[in-house]
Chain A
Amino acid sequence: MAIENMAFLIPVLPALAFVLTFFLGKKLPNGGAIIPIIAIFTSFVISLLITMNLLQNPGQVVSQSYNWFAILNVGILIDPLAAVMLSMVSFVSLLIHIYAVGYMSHDKAQPRYFAETALFTAAMLGVVLSDNILQFFVCWELVGLCSYLLIGFWFEKPSAASAAKKAFLTTRVGDVMFLAGIILLFADIFKIFNGSIPQGVYVLRFDEIFSHIPEIAALNTQIFGFEVSHLTLITLLFFGGAVGKSGQFPLHVWLPDAMEGPTTVSALIHAATMVTAGVYLVARTFPMFIAAPYSLLIVAYIGAFTALFAATMGLVMNDIKRILAYSTISQLGYMMLGLGMGAVIGITAVGDSLFHLINHAFFKALLFLCAGSVIHAVGTQDIRQMGGVGKVMPITFATMLIASLALAGFGIPGTSIGVSGFFSKDPIIEAAYLFGESTENWFPYLFSIVAALLTSIYIFRLIFMTFTGKPRTSYGGHESPAVMTVPLIILGLLALVFGALTKTSFGNFLKETFGNNFVSIDIHALAEMGEYHLASHGSGSEPLIILWMPVIVAFAGLLISYLIYGMRILDMSSIVSRNNPIYKLLYNRYYQNAIYTEFLAVKVVYEGLSLAGRSIDRGFDWLVNFIGHIFMELADGLRQLQTGVVQNYATAVITGVSLLVILLKLIMEVF
């Protein structure tokens, strides 16, 4: 039996594990953790085998479709893009599950935890291997549901419950846009077919969508006096969904609050199963983006801005998990920027961005698991109360250091020496440079390079504050058990070498995504349609200083951090104070949270709804009372007839009978 026929098991097994763990978990040791671990391990093995097959023959992708209803289908598509995502998601999720056996060992609700994370993984795997946009959306929503359940895992804590609600509602804003995009796309394709869809054509399957790109682009709508192509509209709506899910500005506010869940959940959300979905969506529909004028530029700008914006906030956070959360937002910004750079480097952008996504998944999962390990041992999340943890937890320290180096992106340009983040972040920054060169628009490059500097500063601030120096409070720390450290070491190795090993093969592999037996797309023709001017020469031909720039800023960041937080030579107390307006602005997260919750949520939505509700209530009240009043008045008149005098009733009866007789008589005379 060919391995391709087992592809459907990849999401089905974890989903099955969800059911089993939910009902049987209580009777098994460790809350039945073994069930999802085995299921996800099997999914991982299948994904890996399919990926290997695909590596041999990238032109032959796995594509299976079955009729769902009418003109829609369910199906599986495993092309290079999906294959690397599948392998990464199942692998990282597997390690996190193993780690969670140790991390969650004291929690009473283990079966619920493992059941929900299994469902989370299943949903994400479902997103990845969907071959049509509707199935994609269904799984996407399932991911959102699971994130709600898991962020609010400790729902007895009010902060966790509200964080879960916030995550759900904020991503919903994006999801509604995504759904609107799907509906518009469906309507457009229906229009293109003149309403009669031939037998066997599934309108929302990706190959079908991509083959109609020119026709969709030709449809226009007037918005605020501008002629907007439907393709631009659809892609921007899709991107709106990605902004919500992937925590891009301005919908990133839920991600830092999502830290209320267990740390392992944060690792899952940030590395494997949730935030990457948005990037994946844009990558998956990349042919539409590149054919739509302005879309890729907006993706690039939002991405670059988010990268810098989040990094500035990461500088001042004191909660170890929040620093990592802002780091994730910033790195996701890089991925979006990478995709947006398709405006200048074409299809290569997907490879660059996905490469960063995979590397980021490894080192960010590692960072979170290390942070979890520290929190587990120290019992606090505030880095000001830590210090000197490195001596107590050498393995955690070593792996965390590797992850931080990978995040900051250390390496030597032009060689194969470097940590994974180096090989994936550099091409994006270089592409931003190329973009600046060809369009004279330097903002993406400037933003990304400053963000790289800030990244290095905040992550080493975390390292120095947490692991070096003397303990600032007394805590009885100890190294975590092997079930927790082994996943750390595995991830550490990957964060160290994955980038160097696959830096060229990865990009080449992903280039096959849009040219195979499922879809075959001429990216250059589409780019012309989208009015993007692809650079004739690839990256690597920039001046030496540009090649070295990311590494230089990374070192500069390390040095600044060391001087401030390691050696404590530079005194920051004058800057890091509530009196400094800039610090205050950053510490309060640009007051965006306040605007969203206190103004938008409380003032506009809550009070608006209550006003509307009150008015409607009053309207209905009046109507109901009015109808009641009519009958009251009527009854008041009619009951006067009930005199209580029997003779009156008798008179009525006799009069009635007499009238009936007279009537009968008259009728009989007429006929």
Chain B
Amino acid sequence: MIPLFYYLALSAIIFSIGLFGFMTQRSGIRMLMCVELMLNAANINLVAFSSYNADLTGQVFALYSIALAAAEAAIGFAILMSIYRVRDMINLDKINVLRW
């Protein structure tokens, strides 16, 4: 059996990649993809702990999380589509009409 450490390390690496992408990218689609990465890093953690502790709760949570991510992605991309139609770009730095 693969030790828990490997799962956690993988999860941390994926999370860091996601975070890095999220902080550096300006395109809305890329940022959403990075958010998905971070979410899935968390999912890996959940499933790993679940299997390690022989408790199904974590896996159920992971399923919920996936469903949630799907919904979020659907809405997020729909919003980005709408923005694109209006502004002809999806650079979130420029979408700041509600700024002070």
Contact = CB atoms under 8 A, between A and B. Distances in A.
Contacts of B31: 646
Contacts of A646: 31, 92-93
Interface in A618-644: 639-640, 642-644
A639 B98 CA distance: 11
B99 A642 contact: yes
B31 to A, nearest CB: 7
Contact of A651 (B23, B99, B100): B23
Contact of A650 (B22, B96, B98, B99): B22
Contacts of B100: 639-640, 642, 644
23 contacts: A639-B100, A640-B100, A642-B98, A642-B99, A642-B100, A643-B96, A643-B99, A644-B95, A644-B96, A644-B98, A644-B99, A644-B100, A645-B93, A646-B31, A646-B92, A646-B93, A647-B22, A647-B23, A647-B24, A650-B22, A650-B23, A651-B23, A654-B19
Interface in A317-333: none
A644 B95 CA distance: 8
Contacts of A647: 22-24
Q: Which A-B residue pairs are the 8 nearest by beta carbons?
A: A644-B99, A644-B96, A639-B100, A642-B100, A646-B92, A647-B23, A650-B22, A642-B99
B83 to A, nearest CB: 13
B28 to A, nearest CB: 9
A633 to B, nearest CB: 14
Contacts of B99: 642-644
**Residue among A639, A640, A644, A645 having the largest count of chain B Cβ atoms under 10 Å:** A644
Interface in B63-100: 92-93, 95-96, 98-100
Nearest to B35: A650
**Residue among B92, B96, B99, B100 having the largest count of chain A Cβ atoms under 10 Å:** B100
A191 B46 CA distance: 82
B19 A645 contact: no
Interface string A637-669: 001101111110011001000000000000000
A651 B100 CA distance: 19
Interface of A: 639-640, 642-647, 650-651, 654
Interface string B1-44: 00000000000000000010011100000010000000000000
Nearest to A635: B100
Contacts of A642: 98-100
Nearest to A641: B100
A644 B97 CA distance: 8
A163 B100 CA distance: 62
B17 to A, nearest CB: 14
A640 B100 CA distance: 7
Contacts of A643: 96, 99
Per DSSP, chain B at the interface is helix
Nearest to A645: B93
Contacts of A645: 93, 96
A644 B24 CA distance: 15
Contacts of A650: 22-23
Contacts of B23: 647, 650-651
A287 B94 CA distance: 94
A468 B12 CA distance: 122
A529 B83 CA distance: 100
A258 to B, nearest CB: 68
A643 B95 CA distance: 11
A623 to B, nearest CB: 28
Contacts of B93: 645-646
Contacts of B19: 654
A651 to B, nearest CB: 7
Contacts of B96: 643-645
A645 B31 CA distance: 13
A650 B93 CA distance: 13
B98 to A, nearest CB: 7
Nearest to B19: A654
Given A642-B99, A647-B22, A650-B23, 13 more contacts: A644-B95, A644-B96, A644-B98, A644-B99, A644-B100, A645-B93, A645-B96, A646-B31, A646-B92, A646-B93, A647-B23, A647-B24, A654-B19
A317 B95 CA distance: 87
A644 B100 CA distance: 8
Contacts of A644: 95-96, 98-100
A647 B98 CA distance: 16
A170 to B, nearest CB: 63
B41 to A, nearest CB: 14
A644 B26 CA distance: 12
**Residue among A640, A642, A646 having the largest count of chain B Cβ atoms under 10 Å:** A646
B90 to A, nearest CB: 12
A645 B93 CA distance: 6
A638 to B, nearest CB: 9
A412 B35 CA distance: 120
A640 B23 CA distance: 20
B8 to A, nearest CB: 15
A654 B20 CA distance: 12
Contacts of B98: 642, 644
Nearest to A639: B100
Contacts of A639: 100
A309 to B, nearest CB: 76
A169 to B, nearest CB: 57
A651 B24 CA distance: 11
A650 B31 CA distance: 11
A647 B99 CA distance: 14
A654 B23 CA distance: 10
Contacts of B22: 647, 650
A654 B22 CA distance: 11
A318 to B, nearest CB: 78
A650 B19 CA distance: 9
A639 B92 CA distance: 19
A640 B55 CA distance: 47
A524 B98 CA distance: 93
A424 B54 CA distance: 116
B72 to A, nearest CB: 15
A592 B86 CA distance: 81
A574 to B, nearest CB: 88
A644 to B, nearest CB: 3
Nearest to B92: A646
A573 to B, nearest CB: 87
A639 B22 CA distance: 24
A284 B100 CA distance: 78
A567 B28 CA distance: 114
Nearest to A640: B100
B87 to A, nearest CB: 14
A642 B99 CA distance: 6
Contacts of B92: 646
B44 to A, nearest CB: 18
A353 to B, nearest CB: 83
